[in-house]
Amino acid sequence: MNLLTLAIDVGGSSIKAIILHGDSKSVSARSLINTPHPATPDAIVATLIDLIATMGSYDRLAIGFPSVVEAGTTRGAINLHPNWDGFPLAQVLHNKLGKPIKIANDADVQGCGAIAGHGVELVVTLGTGFGSSLFLNGKLLPNLELGQHIFGDRETYEDRLGQAALDRVGVKLWNARLLEAIAILYKLFNYDHLYIGGGNARLVTLDLPPNLTDKVAIVSNDLGLIGGLALWRCEQEFLKDII
């Protein structure tokens, strides 16, 4: 049976949605709306309900959310609002919509759509913040929070490569910082492939060193939606208890 999946990607600046067949083909136009501010749970939930009402018929939902997510409960969302810590988002939406739902960290979802499933694969997303996900032979280590770790000068990856840093230092210096991060992450993870996604990946213009030329790729930000299908194929423990 080819179920229709409503895939939603919640970001710090926008929320995107599309309905997909199991073969990743879209059966609706992609919708994009601004993320409400302040981005409290009540505001986001109300926005999602309104957005979903415009999308048409679907069988199940897959949501990428910019937070650590444990069994459908968010554990903080730095770029949204403090009240997301401990919020049962999956249960709240299920109660309102009556549909099966799976929710995971947004970088994890994008990674599910990007990876080839072989070796050590690292995904970073460049947007409002700095997202990350790590896979070994297609198996996800959920909720990797590289963005909150120190990169340099007592600043985190998110401090130096997030949207606020880009606005402050400009594209040229931001790219130089990204090149440094790519090299550091290679030493840390010895990745076979690094995929760079997110809304600001379109601004990446850097020359990789020869040892990384074949290991790093820019991927479409739409994988944040398409990757939602992988949540319904995933049998990992961290997703088994989700509604």
Does residue 211 share a domain with residue 233?
Answer: no
Please state the domain count of the chain. Answer: 2
Does residue 96 share a domain with residue 190?
Answer: no
Q: pLDDT for 76-106, tens place per residue?
A: 888 899 999 999 999 999 999 999 999 999 9
Q: What is the pLDDT of residue 237?
A: 46
Question: Could you list the residue range(s) of the whole structural domain that residue 15 is in?
Answer: 5-108+223-240
Does residue 172 share a domain with residue 88?
Answer: no
Q: Two tokens at 47? A: 């926005």
> Which tops the pLDDT comparison, 189 or 243?
189
Look at residue 31 and give its three-state secondary structure: strand
DSSP 139-185: EEETT--GGGSEEETTEEHHHHHSHHHHHHH-HHHHHHHHHHHHHHH
Model pTM score = 0.90
Q: What is the pLDDT of residue 76?
A: 86
**Cα separation of 138 and 38, whole Å?**
36
| Mean pLDDT of the 212-225 span | 92
C-alpha count within 13 angstroms, C-beta hemisphere, residue 212: 20
